[in-house]
Amino acid sequence: MSERRQRTARGVAALLACLALTCAGCASDPAPAPAVSSAHTFEEAGLVDIRTLVPDISQQIRYAGSENFVGMPVEGYGAARCYLSEPAAQALQRVERSLRQQGFRLRVFDCYRPARAVRHFVRWAADLQDQRTKPRYYPNLDKTRLLGDYIAPVSGHSRGATVDLTLLDCRGPDGRCLPLDMGTEFDFFDPRANTDSPQATPAQRGNRQRLLRAMAQEGFKNYPQEWWHYTLATHDSQVLYDVPIE
């Protein structure tokens, strides 16, 4: 590694360590860190499994396996399950019900995310030697730039009201449900993944807008840099949870 790259790596590592969940001693960021709940169970945290409301919802929980930007199962994901706060789960149930009437369904990639998983992301971002997933997930971006807009040191997912998802088209004659073309895959770190990216084709933008309208109808707000990312707008708690998914 060049001397310049070594300095960059050390600087990024220090920044990430400073930002990770607690900011004690970080003079440049005087804002208090969000509180991490002492809840040890999903019942204590008020989180419910979405399949208690939609038993057959399509799930591809990427962080429970190796098909993700880290390239390995992420800490806290001992099982491929989707938990959400009860209001968010109920709102997502209504989205699914409405879409099915139109011949579409949802596929969820991630829901509640334990705080320890976010810390895993932060450590991965600091390891500039690990570039295994760059061609697939961030081909046009230097890894030193991932923290911030793409990898947040504190994630709204840990509050239980944020979900990453896509749309399935079930209108074919054989009844199969196939993913709609959204222009990029989930967790693609690039401006092409922006919901209104001009680089998306008209058909891809139309698919993104279909998802946006369906989610907005039940109170979910999109994060404009990621077409797949939605948060229930009425959820105002800042408490984070760190109950592992088992």
C-alpha span between 49 and 233 (Å, rounded): 20
Options 75, 96, 218, 226, the catalytic residue:
226
Which DSSP string do the residues of the chain spell out, in sequence order? --HHHHHHHHHHHHHHHHHSS--TT-TT--SPPPPBP---SHHHHTEEEGGGTSTT-EE--GGGSS-STTSSPPTTBSS---EEEHHHHHHHHHHHHHHHHTTEEEEEEE-S--HHHHHHHHHHHH-TT--TTHHHH-TTS-GGG-BTTTB-SS-GGGGT-EEEEEEEE--STT---EE---SS-TT--SGGGSTT-TTS-HHHHHHHHHHHHHHHTTTEEE-TT-TTEEEETT-----B----B-
User: Is 226 labeled as catalytic in the residue annotation?
Assistant: yes
Q: Report the distance separating Cα 116 and Cα 244, nearest Å.
A: 8
Which amino acid makes up residue 63?
Y
Q: What sign results for the dihedral spanned by CA atoms 45, 16, 193, 81?
A: negative
The residues assigned a catalytic role are 226
